[in-house]
Structure 1
Amino acid sequence: MDISKFTDGSIKKPIAIPDTYQTIPQSPQGVLSVIMSPIEGIMDTVDIMVFVLILGGIIGLVNKTGTFDAGIAALSKRTKGKEFLLVVFVTSLIALGGTTFGLAEETIALYPILMPIFVASGYDAIVCIAAIYMGSSIGSMYSTVNPFSVVIASNAAGISFNEGLTFRIIALVLATIITLIYIYYYARKVKRNPKDSLIYEDMEKIEERF
């Protein structure tokens, strides 16, 4: 690692340097030190805690107001006749959410909302699942400014989260394009002939439910 990163202030936290381990004299802690250690630990990471609390509040607000649901519903109307555009928008938006604020488990709420739209568009359930699940997976895999997998990890490692940012952005775009091409070929095949669906035997039950 470049020594200038330590001297210019890029790295502010202590980090482990490979092949430098050595035993040091013991330093027993008193009762007061043990009591104060969690408080000092919280003080050292309070910026991350506040950030996570604010982010959680924003996500909760979006879910509570139904903004995302309304946006998807409006999108489905506008893409009528060009249904695959819905797949492109959903996958890209969720990938964007995954790469910026770690949108992953939160997408569970989207499956029952989007499933009827995809089924009514002539696709099977797998196209819907792929658009949501693959979008969040790709976004989280190539996190750019995701606070959980990039910012916090970079702080723990003592480096700037900007390290490798260009590579992650390029990889994110390429991976999203490859994913969309893969979904496109499967979706086109199912739309032409529903019997080509991997879950054709269950389609009737799925349509009844959604």
Structure 2
Amino acid sequence: MSTKEKRKGINFPHVYIMFMLVMLLVVVLSWIVPSGQYERVVNPETKITELNTENFQYVEQTNAIGFMDFFTALHNGVVQSADIIVMLLFASGALYILEKSGAIAAGIHKLLRVAAGKEILIISALLILFAIMGTIGFGEGGIPFIPLAMAVVMGMGYDRITAFATSTVGLAIGFTAGVVNFYTTGVSQTIVGLPIYSGLGFRIVALVIFIVISLLYILNYAKKTKADPSKSIVAAEYAEQLQGTTEAEYEEEEFTLSRKIALLGLVAVLIGSAYGAIQLGWGMPQLSGVYAIYAVFLVIVLKINPSEAAATFGTGAARLLPTGLAIGFARSVMILMDQAQIIDTAVHSLSQLLNNTGSVITLLILFLVVIFFNFFVVSGSGKAMILMPIMGPLAKILGINQQVMVVLYQFGDGFTNYLWPTSGGLMAALGMSNVDYAAWVKFSMKLFLILHFVAFILILVAHYMGLGPF
């Protein structure tokens, strides 16, 4: 498919429009769903306000949603989400300085040179590298590096689908495992009152399992199509590719000592953030401060002009502003639900519905709900703002650990970001890589079904082992 061709299909509304439609739905529901509330009590040990799940009552709505309430909720949603939004802006700004410095590209090139002549090792290394990028929350931020990886893989004689999958599946499984992914893990844990990045060990195990499954799937396809090009999903193009002199064309980046130190600094930031959040009780201000320190560190180590670095930081932060607004708009949904006093009613109704279904069926239903909802609201952090305030209290009522519910949310959110046609990041990656959506679905559907099945098994394991805060 030519890059000049326009992709045909349904045009879905922008994510902001989707959130406003959900807000409008809340207004309609406020006229239909009765208001209700649980008794709130302060836990004397944690000092956190919790629901008394034994005491629910319906109440008379005294503050109906007015015309201006609808639109001021947008402002209030952004303001109430400011801590999270600012932290994301600081992290994105610092990481963009690293990206623009060429350190990441240089690291990839060095990895490829070390693995020269070892095709399986190269594919494995690239997938793991992109998985690491995904698990620290790169997501769409990893898309600019996909063409580089594709050029290398296609240069070794593999087809375009193998090349695209090596990087894209890596991002998918890394983002889903969410070891230190603030967009899903961090936001969700913040909402339900868990230490940020707690449950680290379980998520690392999940990431390893996802990597093994994905590698076996991709390598099997790569081996099969290289042995018999007619079995390629893009067989016609692959035949033309093999007849040509395809080479891995990419601009070489030198892996200097300063770039090595810069990447080691990123590792230190991730480890330090996780330790600080879990052991020292750090919140958004401290995590933002860590990334501000890292930005200064990069300026010194990479000898970047401070003014240029500041401009780059601003550009990087600006890339995350749409996501930040999406988080605020998602919070607006909860503000309206809270004003209409129907959040507790929803929790109570769901708990009554699921109370006698058994834990396995309950977890499966909730898992499918997140997967389905992701079709309409792809933003992981924005969706967490809508679902976790309901799923968190629901988990307490049904006897499910909060950490298990966060894992369920992560696994339900991540994979389909790279499958649903409503995902702007996926469609951008496909367009940049000249890969047809139908061909991608044909290749990836079976893999993602397997990954979802394994993810649900892991959710059950987490539930039955009583996966706790840490």
Report the TM-score when normalising by structure 2.
0.37
Other-structure match for 2:234: 199
Other-structure match for 1:150: 185
Q: Does 1:7 align with 2:44?
A: yes
Other-structure match for 1:60: 96
Q: How many angstroms does 1:162 deviate by?
A: 4.9
Q: Structure 2 vs 1, CA of residues 167 and 83 (structure 1 numbering), >3 Å: closer, same or farther?
A: same
Say which is worse superposed, 173-182 or 109-118, in terms of deviation: 109-118
Q: How many angstroms does 1:24 deviate by?
A: 6.1
Q: Structure 2 vs 1, CA of residues 48 and 174 (structure 1 numbering), >3 Å: closer, same or farther?
A: same
Other-structure match for 1:169: 204
Q: Paired residue for 1:22, among 41, 49, 58?
A: 58
Q: Structure 2 vs 1, CA of residues 77 and 195 (structure 1 numbering), >3 Å: closer, same or farther?
A: farther
CA RMSD of the aligned region, Å?
Answer: 3.5
- Are the equivalent residues in 2 in contact too, given 1:13–1:158 (CA < 8 A)? no
Q: Structure 2 vs 1, CA of residues 68 and 163 (structure 1 numbering), >3 Å: closer, same or farther?
A: closer
- Are the equivalent residues in 2 in contact too, given 1:15–1:157 (CA < 8 A)? no
Q: Structure 2 vs 1, CA of residues 94 and 16 (structure 1 numbering), >3 Å: closer, same or farther?
A: farther
Report the TM-score when normalising by structure 1.
0.76
Q: How many angstroms does 1:178 deviate by?
A: 1.0
- Are the equivalent residues in 1 in contact too, given 2:43–2:50 (CA < 8 A)? no
- What letter corresponds to residue 8 of structure 1 in structure 2? E
Other-structure match for 2:85: 49
Residues 130-182 of structure 1 show CA distances to partners (whole Å, capped at 9, x for unaligned) of 11111111112221221111111222223334554433222211111111111
- What letter corresponds to residue 51 of structure 1 in structure 2? M
Long gaps (5+) in structure 1: 29-34
- Are the equivalent residues in 2 in contact too, given 1:13–1:156 (CA < 8 A)? no
Q: How many angstroms does 1:15 deviate by?
A: 6.3
Q: Does 1:94 align with 2:130?
A: yes
Q: Structure 2 vs 1, CA of residues 206 and 55 (structure 1 numbering), >3 Å: closer, same or farther?
A: farther
Other-structure match for 2:174: 139
SS at match of 1:20: strand
Distance 2:194 2:51 in 1: 9
Q: How many angstroms does 1:111 deviate by?
A: 2.5
Question: Which of structures 1 and 2 has the larger relative contact order (alpha carbons within 8 angstroms, sep 6+)?
Answer: 2
Residues 88-144 of structure 1 show CA distances to partners (whole Å, capped at 9, x for unaligned) of 11111211222222x222232123222221111121111111111111111122212
Say which is worse superposed, 191-200 or 14-23, in terms of deviation: 14-23
Distance 1:139 1:82 in 2: 24
Distance 1:14 1:21 in 2: 16
Q: How many angstroms does 1:55 deviate by?
A: 1.1
* Aligned sequence identity (%): 27
Distance 1:157 1:125 in 2: 42
Q: How many angstroms does 1:77 deviate by?
A: 2.0
Q: Paired residue for 2:221, among 162, 170, 186?
A: 186
Other-structure match for 1:123: 158
Distance 1:22 1:159 in 2: 29
Distance 2:133 2:78 in 1: 30
Distance 1:14 1:205 in 2: 63
Other-structure match for 1:113: 148
Say which is worse superposed, 198-207 or 180-189, in terms of deviation: 198-207
- Are the equivalent residues in 2 in contact too, given 1:90–1:132 (CA < 8 A)? yes
Long gaps (5+) in structure 2: 1-41, 65-71, 250-470
